[in-house]
Amino acid sequence: MWIYEKSLERPVRVSRPNLKAAKMIISQYGGPDGELSASLRYLNQRYSMPTDMAKAVLTDIGTEELAHMEMIAALVHKLTDGAPPEAFVEAGWEGQWVQHDHGLFWTDVNGVPWSAKYIACLGDPITDLVEDMAAEQKARTTYEHLIEAMDDPCVIDTLRFLWEREVVHFQRFGEALNTVQEWMAKSKHVWCGCEMKK
């Protein structure tokens, strides 16, 4: 289904290692509003979309979210590369060192592991697309918080790029929602409630 290009969607650079920054950014790897949750949500929901356009949007964005997860992984790796155990302790991230060393694992900023409860799929295209729009807004807000907390211009550049993509994804989901609502109205697929039993 995909052809993998062996390069990041956009180059990731850091000015210097910074474990405190990495600890915050890891949330976009495995936190509730992170890239793993987004990619799995969209690539799963595409199967219950009624139009080819909506399926394509979910496939495109779900695939791009995998690329964003790769960028976040590269960013965290570069921010932690070569750091000794005491640097993890100083950053308040000793749990990462003890359990994973320099390895990446899907957690949030507090070390809580990723959970499937972070994603939703109700099978109703309108409900799922509105959920997707909300997910993109939550990710946008998280990126804004991260940008405000950073002092490395290289890290900010990467986070700003990812922030911009969240805005575009929100717009694309809005377009998909409009086409699905039009399709449902024309096809008389709108659910109007159930009949009362006598």
65 is in an annotated binding site: yes
189 is in an annotated binding site: no
132 is in an annotated binding site: no
169 is in an annotated binding site: yes
64 is in an annotated binding site: no
Distance from C-alpha of 35 to C-alpha of 27, rounded to nearest angstrom: 9
102 is in an annotated binding site: no
First to last CA, the chain: 51
Residues tagged in the binding site annotation: 35, 60, 65, 68, 136, 169
Residues tagged in the binding site annotation for Ca(2+): 60
Residues tagged in the binding site annotation for Mn(2+): 35, 65, 68, 136, 169
